[in-house]
Structure 1
Amino acid sequence: MGNPRITKLLQAHKSGKEEALDQLIPLVYSEMQKMAKGRMRGEDPDHTFSATALVHEAYLKLINFNRIDWQNRNHFYAIASQVMRNILVDYAVKQNAQKRGGNRYRVTLGQEHVKHEVNLEEIISVDQALKKLENIDERQARVVECRFFGGLTIEETAKTLGISEPTVSRDWKAARAWLNRELGEEG
């Protein structure tokens, strides 16, 4: 995630230069694909939402955010994690409503959720708990968003949020503990 051209192209696109988009796509697509694959890895093979579909939908939403003052590529990837979260939650809510009538399920958020299977009910439960955490500690919520919904590593999360790796590790540990308590109360 280290290409400084991304920042310049994001700012050029925001200022109305449509040709910047043609140059931006190949620079961000592979990183967004990596994020989406990390998020989708381990999902049910019959899952109807693919990593590629997640990237395409997220990218389309991101390029239409003209009101965002893109500060740099890290800001772009942090927003991309939030957009992926919203897309996955919306998808999970729709699927859950169709299949199970919207029941809530107990979830334990652990290290394995970063890169492995997460079912639709878990996505919804984590999203609801994460909304509460945002009111308590917004940075911890952003760390969870990058790790859980964006599929980013500790190092990638640190770069994306502009904080140190030890801070990400501490926030990830604290947020997981808080979320596990919160999710345990719902189960």
Structure 2
Amino acid sequence: MNQPERKAPEITQMLRKWSDGDTRAMDNLLPLVYEELHRQAARYLRRERRDHTLQTTALIHEAYLKLIDQRDVEWESRTHFYAIAAQAMRRILVDYARTKQRGKRGGDDIKLSLSEATAVAAKEKSVDLIALDEALDKLAERDAQQARVVELRYFSGL
């Protein structure tokens, strides 16, 4: 019997104690499951892009934090625990990817209405026309009609 198989009954016992409200069982569980969680996280991250910035240890810890918040789960076995851990890791990676994608699409940028942007622009004494032109070009790539509206509003006052 290899090491994980020897730990299986102990892990299941800890999970059941944890389900019954024994908080010490949860503390004792991490050393028993850490190695397998590490393998799962490494497997997930091997499938990710090379420039992925989330590290294996961070993924394990985030997943474990999500798992310990699962107070209503009736843990059936270690297999059940690892399946839920895999789902947690997948959700973390998806959330991470969405956050990165949102940042690439300007999701973290400050949002201004057209009238707010015009008011801010009107208060500016000197305008960097090159930067404005580049910004309008980028906007035109995303939405030509919006770029035209900004251009007409800013330059023509329409």
Q: Could you list the runs of 5+ residues in structure 1 that have no partner in the other structure?
A: 103-187
1:85 is displaced (CA, Å) by: 1.0
Bigger CA drift: 93-102 or 75-84? 93-102
Secondary structure of residue in 2 paired with 1:4: helix
Q: Counterpart in 2 of 1:21?
A: 26
Deviating runs (4+, > 6 A) in structure 1? none
After superposition, residues 1-187 of structure 1 pair within 5 angstroms as 1-2=4-5, 3-41=8-46, 43-100=48-105
C-alpha separation between the residues in 1 aligned to 2:47 and 2:15? 32
Relative CO higher for 1 or 2, CA cutoff 8 Å, sep ≥ 6?
1
CA deviations on 1:104-154 (whole Å, 9 max, x unpaired) are: xxxxxxxxxxxxxxxxxxxxxxxxxxxxxxxxxxxxxxxxxxxxxxxxxxx
Deviation of 1:80 (Å): 0.8
The alpha-carbon deviation at position 23 of structure 1 amounts to 1.6
Paired amino acid for 2:76: Q
Task: Work out the CA distance in 2 between the residues paired with 1:101 and 1:6.
Answer: 45
Identity of matched residues, %:
50
Paired letter, 2:97: A
Paired positions, count: 102
Task: Find the aligned partners of 2:80 and 2:47 in 1 and give their Cα distance.
Answer: 27
Deviations along 1:46-84, one digit per CA (max 9) or x if unpaired, are 422111111000011111101111000000011111111
CA gap of 1:66–1:98, structure 2 versus 1, over 3 A, is same
Moved more, 93-102 or 78-87: 93-102
Shift of 1:45: 5.0
TM-score, normalised relative to structure 2: 0.59
Which protein has the larger Cα radius of gyration, Structure 1 or Structure 2? Answer: 2
The structural deviation recorded for 1:41 is 2.0
Shift of 1:101: 5.9
Deviation at 1:44, TM superposition (A): 4.5
Q: How many Å apart are 1:91 and its aligned residue?
A: 0.6
In structure 2, C-alpha distance between the alignment counterparts of 1:85 and 1:101, rounded to whole Å: 24
TM-score by length of 1: 0.50
